[in-house]
Structure 1
Amino acid sequence: MFIGREKELESLQTIYEKDGFGMTVIYGRRRVGKSFLISEFIKGKKAIFYTATKVGAERNLELFSKQVFDVLDPAYSNATFPNIESVLDIITSKASSKEEKLILVIDELPYWAEKDDALLSVLQKYIDTQWLDKNLMLILCGSALSFMEKKVLSEKSPIFGRRDSQLKLDAFNYKDSALFVPNYSPEDKAICYGVTGGVAKYLALFDSSKSLDENIIKLFFNTDGYLFDETKNLLTQEFSDVTLVNNIIEQVASGETALNIIAAKVKEKDSTVLYSLEKLIDVGLVEKKKCITEEKNKKKTQYVLKDHMFKFWYQFIPKAISVIEMGQGQVYYEKVVKSGLHSFMGSVFEDMCRYYTLEHGILGEFGSFITEVGTWWGVEQMIDANGERFQQSADIDVVGISTIDKTAILGECKFKNEKIDKEILDTLIRRSKLISGSYNVTTLILFSLSGFTDWVKNTDMFNVKLITVEDLYK
């Protein structure tokens, strides 16, 4: 069943319906549903859909030629051609009809273009000299984010300026992810989002007729579960030195966020680790996080796992592999993992709350026109019981700012089986003063899984908003 991506389908349909040639570029990390989106779009349409593989330029040409003729003229599907121009000439002749537009899709473009330097230039030549007046739509798609951005979309690309649009597909947000498990409680929907990271392929594996626990056990805690080996499979596809990358991810997943500390832990040079971290950022697994009010401060930079599924996997699976291989993964899940889910969900819930804050803040629902959302961290000055001053680290989970009127809204998030009490609100009020010099703090928001104590609910502070997990899904 196809879920979500209505805007993307609408964008593709707009290009399809325009007169003459149209082109779009689709890119995004693996498993987010790029190919599934294209397959849904081309239903009922005349389309050549070729997926390139890591087999070299000549073999890709052979396979591409076969796919072209399977659609246009099956009698010649086994014919061979000396170059791609010979095949594109045939596509050009078939696209001259005004009755039905022909769609040409080249999926996983980097696999082919990396081994054939001329491919993009050849496509550029045909776009400029042959296709502009043809009833043809070209879709170029790829998972290698760095290649797609630098070689296909950048000004240095041969096909720069030829596209009508580009679509960067990200993982589903928490609300769209919930559409895959409509019968789950808000808490279970949130955890489902957390363990899948909103990645379409993983969400599609969830059987909504089964419980959250049953699905997690089946997918992660069985040797034949799709997600049991998924991290290794993805890293093997993207990296030559999987051992080093795996070690780096382990450190990031365990909470190490500084380059020099990560490098020391894996016993490699900073430059070597930085190269791998940048590649991990390119493929959408890691992000470089900055303090929202001090984005130019290089000292306030953290490397964190962007992919929640990877975080879940590295937190729970490595220690359980022997048990899972003995067929006792369910026992391990019930005794170890289930009680740790709320702790794991802490950072996931914060991401959900930031999304909610930006979504509603853009509409001005909190009294400010919020244009950015992120986190803040630093230190705060404290006084102990003896009147002695000391410093302690401090962070604010949700910081939404308006760059227009210099206002801010701040939030604290708790995904626990405890109600938020006065102490949490007092801490947020105290820490709000740490950024009030740069922004006028207009609203404080408490986000909670388990609700709020009577003291918090009865507070008469006009600028405090109380949001539950249920509210996030309304």
Structure 2
Amino acid sequence: MVSQDFVGRKREIDLLTRLNERQGAQFLILYGRRRIGKTHLVHHWVNTYEGKLPVLYWMATQTSTTRQLRSFSQALFRFRNPQSDIPPEFSYQTWETALMQAAQLAQRERFVLILDEFTYVMQADSEVPSIIQKVWDHHLQQSNIFLILTGSLAGIIQRAALDYRAPLYGRATARLKLQPLPFGALIRFLPQMSTEQRVAIYAMAGGIPAYIKRFDDSLTVRENMYERLLSPANVMLSDAVFLLGEQLNDPRNYMALIETIRLLYADASDAAGAGARCRRWGV
């Protein structure tokens, strides 16, 4: 079966460690397409400290900004008051207030705040990048925080942090675009396969860890293709639509183009099949 070990991210782990060991506030923007391993990376890095590093991890979901703020507020409250009960409707009034509360935790010692898939928050409220800019400039930058923002929505990351006029441009002390794993990493996932078989798997899965883990090196490439790749439940098939939405500002025109190509291909296949049948029947 496929290995579940953490593979091929030593340079990224080393970067996180170096940033954490630097003096003063650090701000990392970690981004990349879905299933590339952003969440797995930060969890693995945190686990290397074996509970000795104060860390608050929170993952955003695609919901309203009110629910997102309430969820984060409650996570922050539980971190600050682990023995206290929290009212189910408790929430800070604004993101600015919530982030300033987080800054207080980093006044004397290192405090790591991981906001995973935070582009969903920026998607729900376009003012959030400017709020982070303000809080960073006036509070967080003078603290001992290590702030890690991760996101999959390429367009939002670009507008919020990478463009020259973006609110967070120049605030991050490091930016990391997580890349697919190199081909050489597949030997750790699929040790029983030959090099030729791994080439075939890499052609299908690329260097996406979540995809590679779906393949089984006790099966042949053909068996893997039919059982793992062509299954109706295969996330690799459904991900295409999500990826277009994440990488493009308005994917509707692209989806329409793909659908047109599909229909043209289907028509051409039908026409070719009809021609073959006519020739076979002597028509």
Q: TM-score, normalised by structure 2?
A: 0.79
Residue in structure 2 matched with residue 127 of structure 1 by the alignment = 136
Q: How much has 1:65 moved relative to structure 2?
A: 1.1
Q: Does 1:71 align with 2:82?
A: no
Contact 2:154 2:247 in 1 (8 A): no
Contact 1:34 1:169 in 2 (8 A): yes
Q: 2:97 aligns with which of 86, 90, 94?
A: 86
SS in 2 for 1:167: strand
Residue in structure 1 matched with residue 281 of structure 2 by the alignment = none
Amino acid aligned to 1:91:
A
Contact 1:67 1:77 in 2 (8 A): no
Amino acid aligned to 1:56:
S
Residue in structure 1 matched with residue 279 of structure 2 by the alignment = none
Listed as ranges, the matches of 1:27-426 within 5 Å are: 27-43=31-47, 44=50, 45-74=53-82, 75=84, 77-78=86-87, 79-98=90-109, 101-232=110-241, 234-235=243-244, 245-246=254-255, 248-249=257-258
CA distance in 1, matches of 2:247, 2:141: 36
Contact 1:65 1:77 in 2 (8 A): no
CA distance in 2, matches of 1:9, 1:15: 10
Provide, for residues 242-271 of structure 1, a one-character-per-residue CA deviation record: whole Å limited to 9, x for no partner.
Answer: 77534534678x9xxxxxxxxxx98xxxxx
CA distance in 1, matches of 2:206, 2:43: 23
CA distance in 1, matches of 2:70, 2:155: 27
CA distance in 1, matches of 2:203, 2:37: 18
TM-aligned CA distance change 1:83 to 1:36, over 3 Å = same
Q: How much has 1:29 moved relative to structure 2?
A: 1.3
CA distance in 2, matches of 1:171, 1:63: 31
Residue in structure 1 matched with residue 278 of structure 2 by the alignment = none
Contact 1:25 1:165 in 2 (8 A): yes
Contact 1:48 1:103 in 2 (8 A): yes
Which segments of 5 or more consecutive residues in structure 1 lack a partner in the other structure? 255-264, 267-313, 320-474
Bigger radius of gyration: 1
SS in 1 for 2:142: coil
CA distance in 2, matches of 1:237, 1:40: 25
SS in 1 for 2:124: coil
RMSD, aligned CA: 2.9
TM-aligned CA distance change 1:76 to 1:120, over 3 Å = farther
How many residues in Structure 1 have an aligned counterpart in Structure 2?
256
Contact 2:106 2:144 in 1 (8 A): yes
Q: How much has 1:161 moved relative to structure 2?
A: 1.3
Q: 2:13 aligns with which of 9, 13, 31?
A: 9
SS in 2 for 1:207: coil
CA distance in 1, matches of 2:155, 2:245: 17
TM-aligned CA distance change 1:171 to 1:179, over 3 Å = same
CA distance in 2, matches of 1:129, 1:232: 40
Which segments of 5 or more consecutive residues in structure 2 lack a partner in the other structure? 270-283
TM-aligned CA distance change 1:217 to 1:233, over 3 Å = farther
- Indicate the structure with greater strand content: 1
Q: Where in structure 1 do 4 or more consecutive aligned residues deviate above 6 Å?
A: 236-243
Identity of paired residues, percent? 26
CA distance in 2, matches of 1:237, 1:87: 27
